[in-house]
Amino acid sequence: MKILVLAAGYGTRLKAIAENTPKPLLPISDRPLMNYILDRVKGLNRLNEVIVITNNKFAETFEQWAAETSIGVPITVVNDGTNSPEDRLGSIGDINFAIENRQLEDDLLVIGGDNLFDYNVDEYIMFAQEKVAGSAVIGLYDVGDREEAKLYGVVGLDDTNRIISFEEKPQEPKSTLISMCFYYLPKDNLSLVGQYLREVGKADKAGDYIRWLHKQTDVYGFTFSGKWFDIGSVEAYQDAQKNFK
C-alpha cells in the first residue's frame, strides 16, 4: 500500500498565511500539519511508501521537508509541473498524474494534505483491506450540523455501509454525514481514475469522482470519530491552532 498526500494547492483562501508556505506545512503547535498526518499513518499494515504530490512553487520546500523527515518508509515528492491556481490539475488530475508518473500498482490511500485529525486509522485500513476487498472505501465524518454539511459531499449508506447516495454541497442535506478527502483506492480499480477523466473531464473536485465512482462499482464508507479539522480558510486554521491538541 502507498499513501498519496494531495499537496498541490496554492492556499488562495488562506491568503498571506499560505503565500510562501504550502498549507500542509503550516505550523500547528510548532509542528507542520503534515507531520500530524504522518503520525497517524506511520506503521500502517502493508505501507511501503508515502508520496506527496505538489507543484513547481512548493516542490523544493517539500523536498527539504522530506529530507528532514523519517517514518520508516520512503517519502517521495512528485511535482505536477503547475505554477499557479490557473493551471493547477485539480485533485483528481493530481491523483491521475501520480498514478501515471509513478506507474502505481499498489493499493492507494489518498489523503488531503489539509486534513488535521486525531483518530485511529488502523480500523479503517483493516476494513478496507479485508472486509470489502477490491472496493474503494472513503472516510466519513459526522459534522453534526446540516448548515455545515452544505459545504461538503453528503453521503447516504445502506446497512452494509455501502454508499447509496452522494450529493456534492447540497442546499438541503439529507444528513450530516460527510465525505472527507480520505480515499482507499484498491489497485485493481486505479484505472477508473483515468476513465473518469476521459468520460467526465472534471478534474478539480475529488467529490465529483466519488459521486461517479459509486455508480460504477461498490464504494463503502467508514465513519471516523474524534477531532477533525479541514484547514480550508483562515478561520479554520485559527480554530485548529486553538483547539487541536
Domain residue ranges of the chain, discontinuous segments joined by + = 2-243
Kindly report, residue by residue over 92-144, the tens digit of the pLDDT: 999 999 999 999 999 999 999 999 999 989 999 999 988 666 899 999 999 99
Q: What is the pLDDT along the chain (245 residues), one digit of tens a residue?
A: 999 999 999 877 777 787 889 999 999 988 999 999 999 999 998 999 999 999 999 999 999 999 999 999 999 999 999 999 899 999 999 999 999 999 999 999 999 999 999 998 999 999 998 866 689 999 999 999 999 999 999 999 999 999 999 998 999 999 999 999 999 999 999 999 999 999 998 877 888 899 999 999 999 999 999 899 998 888 888 899 888 87
Which pTM value belongs to this model?
0.95
**What dotted CATH number matches 2-243?**
3.90.550.10
For 89, the 3-state DSSP assignment is coil
Helices (H) then strands (E): counts for the chain: 8, 13
**Residue 220 gets which letter from DSSP?**
E
pLDDT of residue 132: 67
Alpha helices by DSSP H, listed for 84-190, are 91-101, 122-126, 146-149
Q: Please, are residues 141 and 224 in contact by the beta-carbon 8 Å criterion?
A: yes
Q: How far apart are CA 208 and CA 167, in angstroms?
A: 9
Please name the amino acid found at residue 203. Answer: A
